[in-house]
Structures are given as C-alpha cells and as structure tokens.
C-alpha cells in the first residue's frame, strides 16, 4: 500500500533531508521508524530535498508498506516513535502510481529576517540580521524574479543539472513587526536558489547594489555575479501542492 505523509520538522539539528552516511537526516529518521513498523526496509521519497538547517511546515513524501494500516493508526505510531523535531501532520492513502516528487505542481518557501533586536529564542528559524533594511527597494526588486528565466546566477556550483531554467510563479515581501517575510512559489528550485535570491535582496536592502540589478544578474548566467547567500536557518518550506 502507498501512503502520502504531510510532515513538519525543525532543521536545526539535521544535516539536511537526504540520507548521508554518518550524519543525522530527516529521511534516515523516517525510514528507521517505518522499517520497524513494516518489518521490512522502507524507502521514503520526498517532494524534494532541503538543506542542513532548513525547516519545513508542510513537506510531503510517499512510501510503500507491505500491509494496509489505517491512516490514523499509522500517524499515531509514527509520532510515537519519531524524535520530537519531526511531526507527522497527516497520513493519506494514495494510488500506487502516485509520486511525491514528480507530481509536484508547486512549492512555497518562506524566508524570515529579523531586523530588530537579537532574538535568542527564534535564532534557529529566523535570520538574526538585527539591522534596518530598505524594504521599499527590496519590494521593488523582488518583482523581477517572477517569470521564466535561466537562474544559473542564483544556483549552486554544486548543482550539476544542465537545465537551470525555472519559473517563479509568485514572489513577495511582507513586514510583520521587525520581521521581513520573503515568499517564493515555483514548481521547483535549484540548489541554494532561494537563499541566493534572498541574499541578493538583502544586498539591495543594504543599498549596496541597485534595485534594478536582478535582470542584469539573471542575464549574466554566472554564479560569480551573484555570490550572496542568506544563511540556511531563516528558510522554511511552507507547502507543497499536487
């Protein structure tokens, strides 16, 4: 039987989602518990990978079990055995041909920057920038990310995919108290793309580069032209839609 889970996690103490030898990862924790429940190895396939220190409110993943378990019982069992920094929000039974990665329609990421006093409580999930930024310029600039472009300039050198074209459906900035909340929605993102886009917006907010720089940087298709990258701890995967 194939199941789809919607789950949350705090990325602070993980080395990312994907399994890595000798490192603590979300995938490893999920597969360990599911294998115990299933009495047979289980492979969990998520909508995508998140990097070390990146959190999620609504990540999605599918897996197969040998036997049928009622969804409410499976959710209860998972939350009983998983560590407290991972939580299963919902469990749904899906068709056998459902795929959590290849059937994604959109992903929404949110990046939060604190421009007020340092907050030790939120330091693991909000970037403690703790200085003013010119939000007006940032709001003007972020609109230039919307559309279909080759985002090579905003990808990681480690990303070996030849096709760096992506479509940003939505991009906006809101301010709540001293927090600047930056949201991007797309079908998919390149490695470090969101953090690189945010890093460039921060430089614009610092008035170190012009607000109209983004189209120029995109056209260069050169990672060295936009080397700024915001820290991982301010980034959260908000939702995945199918």
Residues serving a catalytic function are 51
- CA dist., res. 108 & res. 170, Å (int): 9
DSSP string, 91-138: EEEE-TT--TTTT--EEEEEEEEE-SS--SSSTTTSEE--S---HHHH
- CA dist., res. 34 & res. 4, Å (int): 13
Q: Give the H/E segment covering residue 141.
A: helix 135-142
Give the E-state strand segments of the chain in sequence order: 2-9, 45-46, 55-64, 86-94, 106-114, 127-128, 147-150, 165-176, 179-186, 235-241
SS3 state at 240: strand
- CA dist., res. 90 & res. 95, Å (int): 16
SS3 state at 233: helix
Tokens of residue 101, six digits: 């990665």
Sign of torsion over alpha carbons 10, 165, 225, 202: negative
Asked if 78 and 29 count as a contact pair (C-beta separation under 8 A), the reply is no
- CA dist., res. 31 & res. 168, Å (int): 32
């Amino acid at each position: 039987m194939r199941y789809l889970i919607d789950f949350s996690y705090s990325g602070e103490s993980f080395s990312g989602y994907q399994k890595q030898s000798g490192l603590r990862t979300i995938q490893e924790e999920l597969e360990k518990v599911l294998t115990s429940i299933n009495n047979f190895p289980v492979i969990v396939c998520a909508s995508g990978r998140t990097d070390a220190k990146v959190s999620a409110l609504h990540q999605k993943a599918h897996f197969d079990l040998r036997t049928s378990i009622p969804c409410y019982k499976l959710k209860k069992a998972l939350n009983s055995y998983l560590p407290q920094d991972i939580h299963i929000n919902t469990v749904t039974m899906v068709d056998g041909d459902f795929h959590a990665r290849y059937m994604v329609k959109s992903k929404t990421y949110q990046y939060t920057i604190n421009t007020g006093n340092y907050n030790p409580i939120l330091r693991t999930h909000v970037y403690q920038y703790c200085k003013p930024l010119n939000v007006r310029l940032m709001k003007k600039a972020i609109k230039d990310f919307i559309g279909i472009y080759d985002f090579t300039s905003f990808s990681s050198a480690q990303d070996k995919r030849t096709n760096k074209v992506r479509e940003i459906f939505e991009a906006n900035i809101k301010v709540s108290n001293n927090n600047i909340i930056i949201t991007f929605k797309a079908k998919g993102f390149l490695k470090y793309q969101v953090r690189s886009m945010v890093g460039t917006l921060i430089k614009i907010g610092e008035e170190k580069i012009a607000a109209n720089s983004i189209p120029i940087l995109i056209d260069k298709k050169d990672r060295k032209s936009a080397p700024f990258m915001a820290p991982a701890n301010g980034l959260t995967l908000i939702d995945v839609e199918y």
